[in-house]
Structure 1
Amino acid sequence: MTRDAARPEPGTDDGLTVGRAAGLVGVSVRTLHHWDAIGLVRPSGRTRAGYRVYSGEDVARIHRVLVYRELGFELAQIGPILDDPGADATGHLRRQRRELVEQIERLHRMVGAVDRMLEASRTGMRLTPEQQVAIFGDDWRPEWTGEAERRWGRSAQWAQYAHRAAGRSPADWERVAAETDAFQADLAAAKRSGAAPGSPEANALAERHRALMSTYFDCTHAMQVCMGRMFTEDAGFAAHYDGIEPGLARWLADVLSANAAANGVDPETAAWE
């Protein structure tokens, strides 16, 4: 406890002592001592007994400091704003408001992702390993799901996938598997026929791929480009597509990139967003 806090408070009409000012505005005596020491808020008066006291204007300044601090300003920023009559306080507040709005939006997205994960956990629809093999074929490996979760489990897209997967029945998964098999067969046929990336036929297949991916999570053209890179760089994905048709992984990556470029995305700079 500080000496000022322990000392009996004098009754005065000249202003508020540090203890009373601290109690009024809801901060500690130590805080006011610190602000006094750094010149941020100093008691401007004294009582007849020699006590330093805060005037009404001093208390108003304390409140302004608290507002700026609550908005995230550093103490070193607050002093110049309050002391400089030419300082653009409104401009500072507007910039801070924009940052706060962006932070709120990020928090809302995080809450949404957590809610989707909670809902997926609550409903708990997960295929057993036996069901996975029965639906997706003998070459399916149930451990791939765990590997995917370890790789992407912290992403918003995985939260969407988990939420949507939780509501699917085995019949729904059978339908998805059939659509995927049909799509991959059409991919192989198009490559064998010589369809060039960027052609109407290839672009239509790229949009089918995006629609298929969007049953799991909201898939953008930029994300497709990133997937195409993964299909060629990841040995497991490359083996899967090239096992359907030799060279299919590279061809599919080129198809996705060409279609993305036709939709205003630069494949060279495309990012997962």
Structure 2
Amino acid sequence: MKMKVKEVADLVGISVRTLHHYDDIGLLTPSETTESGYRLYSDDDLEKLQQILFFRELDFPLKKIRNILESPSFDRNEALQMHRKMLLEKRRRLDQMIETIDKTIQFTKGEIDMTNEEKFAGFDFSQNPYEEEARERWGDEAIDKTKAHYAAMSEDERKAVEQQFNNIYRKIAALRKGEPDSDEAQAAIQEWYDFLNQNSGHHFSLEAFKCIGQMYVDDERFTKNIDQYGTGLAKFMCDAMTVFADRNKKS
């Protein structure tokens, strides 16, 4: 029996507006539309919707999902196995972060000691949840080069890059209560600029670097992630990156 859009929305727990949007962009077009304009979803449509939502849970952008599902080589069972593997990894990281939170609560109460490494156990910035926005801002070529550059690294090289990333952020976080134009802050931001250009497979212009800093405060998701290293860090980095870009343009 086919279902109307409101029935599907209630079943799945998403909005009617979302289903309409999926239809509008060609991601999920219901198998039938009545003369009066009602969308009717078949069992096959629901299976496709399930697949879409698995991808969304893993932060795939809608355009990427559509391309995957439209590919002649797409195999549903293979995709389900991939979803399972990725969700297990996501659960593992979340469990580790919950453990880090529990330890941090004990640490703040003075019940245990924590090393700096333990304070950041579970954080993983190797997967970018904002890839779609990045592609819109700087284009596919820059993002594809970054992903290819990272994928070509060995496991040890990736760990070294992630450690360097964390070290730079901790260094800048320790300076965030000072002035963003101080020599110490600008030296740390220079290190961040060099890190991005050395480890992304793409050279970011000073203007792009400045835009990245602005995005740290314009997008609350970035702010939330960055401020995990210290409250106010996103704003401080934005200001310091602006100073860095403006100064170096003049030199």
TM-score (norm 1): 0.44
Larger Rg, first or second structure (1 or 2):
1
Q: Normalised by the size of structure 2, how large is the TM-score?
A: 0.47
